[in-house]
Amino acid sequence: MKLTVIGTGYVGLVTGACLAEMGNAVTCVDVDEQKIARLREGILPIYEPGLETIVTENQKQGRLRFATSLADPGAEAPVYMIAVGTPPGEDGSADLQYVLAVARDIGRRISQYTVVLDKSTVPVGTAERVAGVIRGELQQRGLSVDFDVVSNPEFLKEGDAVQDFMRPDRIIIGSDSERAREVLRELYAPFMRTHERIIFMGVRDAEMTKYAANSMLATKISFMNEIAGLCDRMGVDVENVRLGIGSDSRIGYSFIYPGAGYGGSCFPKDVRALIQMARQTGFEPMLLNAVEARNHAQQRVLYQKILQHFGPQLAGRSFGLWGLSFKPGTDDMREAPSTVLLRDLIASGARVKAYDPAALEVARRDLPRTWFESGQLQLVEQQYDALKGADALVLITEWKPFRHPDFTLVKTLMKSPIVFDGRNQYDPAQLRGLGFTHIGIGRGGEAIT
Identity of the amino acid at 244 = G
Was 155 annotated as part of a binding site?
yes
Q: What CA–CA distance (Å, rounded) separates 275 from 283?
A: 9
Which one, of 119, 108, 177, lies nearest residue 145 by Cα?
Answer: 108
- Total residues contacting ligand UPG by CB under 6 A comes to 20
Q: Minimal distance in Å, beta carbon 312 to ligand UPG?
A: 28
Q: Which is nearer to ligand NAD, 83 or 130 (CB)?
A: 83
Which one, of 418, 362, 414, 424, lies nearest residue 383 by Cα?
Answer: 414
∠ Cα 151 172 267 (to 5°):
80
Q: Which is nearer to ligand UPG, 156 or 180 (CB)?
A: 156
Should residue 158 be labelled a site residue for ligand NAD when binding is judged by CB under 6 A? yes
Report the partner that residue 31 touches, choosing among ligand NAD, ligand UPG, none (CB closer than 5 to 8 A by kind). Answer: ligand NAD
Should residue 327 be labelled a site residue for ligand UPG when binding is judged by CB under 6 A? yes
Own/partner long-range contacts of 421-425 (Cβ < 8 Å, ≥24 apart): 421/395, 422/259, 422/260, 422/301, 422/302, 422/337, 422/394, 422/395, 422/396, 423/257, 423/259, 423/260, 423/395, 423/396, 423/397, 423/398, 424/238, 424/239, 424/257, 424/258, 424/259, 425/395, 425/398
Should residue 356 be labelled a site residue for ligand UPG when binding is judged by CB under 6 A? no
**Which residues face 2 on adjacent strands?**
25
Per CB under 6 A, which of residues 95..124 are in contact with ligand NAD?
98, 101-102, 120-121
For residue 191, the surrounding DSSP H or E stretch is none
Q: Minimal distance in Å, beta carbon 342 to ligand UPG?
A: 15
Say which DSSP state 192 is in: G
Out of 217, 288, 350, 441, the only residue in the binding site for ligand UPG (CB under 6 A) is 217
Are 241 and 227 spatial neighbours (Cβ–Cβ below 8 Å)? Answer: yes
∠ Cα 56 162 192 (to 5°):
115
Choose the binding region for ligand UPG from 84-92, 105-113, 186-194, 258-266 (rule: CB under 6 A): 258-266
Q: Minimal distance in Å, beta carbon 350 to ligand NAD?
A: 31
Helix extents (H) in 110-151: 126-140
Should residue 44 be labelled a site residue for ligand NAD when binding is judged by CB under 6 A? no
Active site residues: 266
Strand segments (E) across 76-170: 79-82, 114-118, 147-151
Q: What CA–CA distance (Å, rounded) separates 262 from 223?
A: 12
Should residue 6 be labelled a site residue for ligand NAD when binding is judged by CB under 6 A? yes
- Total residues contacting ligand NAD by CB under 6 A comes to 26
Report the partner that residue 48 touches, choosing among ligand NAD, ligand UPG, none (CB closer than 5 to 8 A by kind). Answer: none
Count of alpha carbons within 13 Å of 288, Cβ hemisphere only?
22
Was 259 annotated as part of a binding site?
yes
Should residue 331 be labelled a site residue for ligand NAD when binding is judged by CB under 6 A? no
Out of 47, 303, 326, 426, the only residue in the binding site for ligand UPG (CB under 6 A) is 326
Three-class SS state of 321? strand
Should residue 305 be labelled a site residue for ligand UPG when binding is judged by CB under 6 A? no
Choose the binding region for ligand NAD from 1-9, 142-150, 274-282, 407-415 (rule: CB under 6 A): 1-9
Are 441 and 260 spatial neighbours (Cβ–Cβ below 8 Å)? Answer: yes
The residues that touch ligand NAD, with contacts defined as CB under 6 A, are 6-12, 29-32, 35, 83-86, 98, 101-102, 120-121, 154, 156, 158, 265-266
The residues that touch ligand UPG, with contacts defined as CB under 6 A, are 121, 154-158, 214, 217, 221, 255-257, 259, 262-264, 266-267, 326-327
Q: Indicate the annotated binding residues.
A: 30, 35, 86, 121, 155-158, 210, 255-259, 263, 269, 327, 334
Q: Indicate the annotated binding residues for substrate.
A: 155-158, 210, 255-259, 263, 327
